[in-house]
């Protein structure tokens, strides 16, 4: 985006030299913004054009009216493939009455477009410690799928029953990126990273009770992982993990 801007700046300067642009017009253009200002939000309008990926709207803390206005603004600017995260069932139903969305209540994700074909380097493995971590895992998995990745789900492979995890060693060995999702003691990330040779994105979840302190235990555990190649995102941040995993899984396309 910034690189484009540099090119654009040169163009503006050349127009000024050519006299096809006045100084005031140039000043105005240099301030032009790649987003639409609708008061309560500044909607990014360049991302899809630049990267061919769906736009993302974070629904938590926004009213249905605000979400609809953002969707409308995006579509007026020709952005049809939009991902809406952290969207609860009730607002999703209300939005569904007005425009066509595909909604997954478990992952709390909606999208307005069509699922792309996977075009990454390899597969992204999404693993969870338990069954209760699945909503976060689905947020990660659906995000990755929307961004053009093949996703392999390994659910309920927590370290307390190591044979469950070890039986999936081949999937783990073959992964391009692994998203390790766990609450409670959060040990899954370390064990998986010890088995694999690829980047492991650890997602602590707020699953648990007592001294799990809403995910703090898993968060600290993952940050302290002795295994190399592990990094951590926010508690329950399935979207962030899916997005980053896709970025890494598309590395070779870059440059």
Residue 152 buriedness (CB in 10 A; 0-12 / 13-18 / 19+): middle
Binding mask 111-130 for its own copies (x = CB under 8 A): ----------xx------xx
Shortest gap between Cβ of 223 and its own copies (angstroms)? 4
- Nearest CA to 61 out of 40, 44, 47, 43 is that of 40
Shortest gap between Cβ of 111 and its own copies (angstroms)? 16
Considering only residues 61-100, where is the footprint of its own copies by CB under 8 A? 61-62, 66
Shortest gap between Cβ of 101 and its own copies (angstroms)? 19
Q: What gap in Å lies between CA 175 and CA 152, rounded to an integer?
A: 9
What beta strand segments (E) does 35-146 contain? 35-37, 42-44, 55-58, 82-85, 102-104, 109-111, 123-128
Size of the site for its own copies (CB under 8 A): 112
Q: Which stretch binds its own copies (CB under 8 A): 74-82, 96-104, 107-115, 224-232?
A: 224-232
Whichever of 99 and 213 has its CB closer to its own copies, that residue is: 213
Q: Give yes or no for residue 39 binding its own copies (CB under 8 A).
A: yes
Binding mask 2-21 for its own copies (x = CB under 8 A): xx--x--xx--xx-xx-x--
Q: Give yes or no for residue 49 binding its own copies (CB under 8 A).
A: no
21-47 burial code (b ≥16 CB/10 A, e <16): beeeeeeeeeeeeeeeeeeebebbbbb
Shortest gap between Cβ of 115 and its own copies (angstroms)? 19
CA distances 82 to 19, 43, 115, 131, 238, Å, are 41, 12, 11, 28, 17
Could you tell me how far CA 203 lies from the centroid of its own chain?
A: 12
Considering only residues 203-222, where is the footprint of its own copies by CB under 8 A? 204, 206-222
Shortest gap between Cβ of 78 and its own copies (angstroms)? 19
Tokens of residue 202, six digits: 């650890």
Whichever of 148 and 215 has its CB closer to its own copies, that residue is: 215
- Residue of 23, 78, 100, 117 interacting with its own copies (CB under 8 A): 23
Q: What gap in Å lies between CA 130 and CA 53, rounded to an integer?
A: 31
Q: Which stretch binds its own copies (CB under 8 A): 75-83, 90-98, 107-115, 226-234?
A: 226-234
Q: What gap in Å lies between CA 239 and CA 152, rounded to an integer?
A: 16
Tokens of residue 226, six digits: 């002795």
- Nearest CA to 47 out of 64, 61, 34 is that of 34
Whichever of 130 and 148 has its CB closer to its own copies, that residue is: 130
Q: What gap in Å lies between CA 7 and CA 251, rounded to an integer?
A: 24
Shortest gap between Cβ of 96 and its own copies (angstroms)? 21
Shortest gap between Cβ of 122 and its own copies (angstroms)? 6
Considering only residues 143-202, where is the footprint of its own copies by CB under 8 A? 155-164, 167, 169-170, 172-173, 176, 183-187, 190-191, 193-199, 201
């Amino acid at each position: 985006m910034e690189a484009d801007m540099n090119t654009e700046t040169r163009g503006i300067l050349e127009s000024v030299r050519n006299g096809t642009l006045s100084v005031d017009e140039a000043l105005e253009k240099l301030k032009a913004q790649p987003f639409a200002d609708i008061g309560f939000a500044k909607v990014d309008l360049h991302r899809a054009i630049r990267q061919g990926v769906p736009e993302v709207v974070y629904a938590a803390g926004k009213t249905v009216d605000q979400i609809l206005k953002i969707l409308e603004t995006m579509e007026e600017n020709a952005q049809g493939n939009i991902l809406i995260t952290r969207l609860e069932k009730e607002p999703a139903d209300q939005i569904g009455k007005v425009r066509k969305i595909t909604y997954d209540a478990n992952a709390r994700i909606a999208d307005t477009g069509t699922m792309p074909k996977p075009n990454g380097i390899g597969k992204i493995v999404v693993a969870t410690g338990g069954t209760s971590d699945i909503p976060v895992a689905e947020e990660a998995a659906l995000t990755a799928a929307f961004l053009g990745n093949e996703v392999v789900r390994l659910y309920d492979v927590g370290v307390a029953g190591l044979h469950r995890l070890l039986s999936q060693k081949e999937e783990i060995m073959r992964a391009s990126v692994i998203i390790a999702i766990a609450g409670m003691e959060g040990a899954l990330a370390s064990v998986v990273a010890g088995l694999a040779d690829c980047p492991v994105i650890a997602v602590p979840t707020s699953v648990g009770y007592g001294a799990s302190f809403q995910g703090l235990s898993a968060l600290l555990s993952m940050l302290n992982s002795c295994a190399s190649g592990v990094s951590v995102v926010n508690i329950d941040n399935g979207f962030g993990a899916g997005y980053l995993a896709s970025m890494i899984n598309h590395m070779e396309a870059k440059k």
